[in-house]
Structure 1
Amino acid sequence: MKPLAPDSSITLMIVDTARLLRKRFEIALSHVETGLTVSEARALAIIWRNPGLRQTALADRMNVEPMTLVGYLDALEKAGLIARQADPSDRRAKLVVLTEEADPVLDKIGMAMTELRAEVLAGVSQEEQKLLEGLLGTLKGNLLSGEAGNCNR
């Protein structure tokens, strides 16, 4: 007898939604004239949301290899949009920060994100949006706390 599949409809729906949202985000970025590749624009958007992260933490957030991230950061730094600074707590580590020159590019990325958000949340009331944001925050927190426990496995 074949085992019953676990009830994972919520899990799979979240995975599928995240994949679709990332794809749509990348498409939205490709329609915005930033002078950057989609990957560079995505990196800049993540730096914008998480200023002052170490390069290794940024690679984790982007789900890319550190060496892949270095290429994006080199291009962003060459364009004058970011700077890498020594971490005061560990001079070997680099923190990634935005420069003022990034502001016009971030405005364009922000517009693309706002349009995508409106599209994704069409038909969802303000109350439902707040509830969704709270639930997603809880899920993210659970996953992050689980990550810490899984590091030694």
Structure 2
Amino acid sequence: MKPLAPESSITLMIVDTARLLRKRFEIALSHVDTGLTVAEARALAFIWRNPGLRQTALADRMNVEPMTLVGYLDALERAGLIVRQADPADRRAKLIVLTEEADPVLDKIGAVMKDLREEVLFGLSEDQRKLLEGLLGTLKDNLLNVETEALTR
């Protein structure tokens, strides 16, 4: 006999919401002239939110293979939007840094993110929005702590 499906699963709801949000973000990005592919614009947005990360850490955060990210970074570097700098702690590793030339593109990506945020949060009061942000921040911190603990074992 098969087990009964849970009546409510916050985990699956969050996974589904994240998937839908990412899809909606990518669709919205496709309608904005950034001069980049949607994947490159998404990578640039991740770099913007996570400045100075190593390439490997960025690939991990984006949930893409490191070689896939290299292609995006190559294109962003050719466009003059990022530079790869040697990590002072490990010269073999590269840190990803935005250039000033990225600012106009980031303005466009930021406008997409703002519009999407308003679309997704429609109908929520300011207090509800703040509460949701705090709760999601706690969930993220919990997941990062579990991930960090797993890596240090």
Cα distance in 1 between the residues matched to 2:19 and 2:77: 28
Tell me the equivalent position of 2:85.
85
Tell me the equivalent position of 2:28.
28
* Residues matched between the structures, number: 153
Structure 2: give runs of 5+ residues left out of the alignment: none
Aligned letter for 2:115? E
Tell me the equivalent position of 1:144.
144
Tell me the equivalent position of 1:104.
104
Tell me the equivalent position of 2:44.
44
Q: For residues 14-69 of structure 1, what are the alpha-carbon distances to aligned partners after superposition, in whole Å with 9 as ceiling and x for unaligned? A: 01000000000001110110010000000000100111000000000110000000
Cα distance in 1 between the residues matched to 2:68 and 2:33: 23
TM-score by length of 2: 0.95
Structure 1: give runs of 5+ residues left out of the alignment: none
Cα distance in 2 between the residues matched to 1:22 and 1:98: 22
Give the deviation of 1:4 after TM superposition: 3.6
Asked whether 1:94 is paired with 2:102, we answer: no
Cα distance in 2 between the residues matched to 1:7 and 1:85: 50
Runs ≥4 in structure 1, deviation > 2 angstroms?
Answer: 1-8, 148-153
How many percent identity over aligned positions? Answer: 82
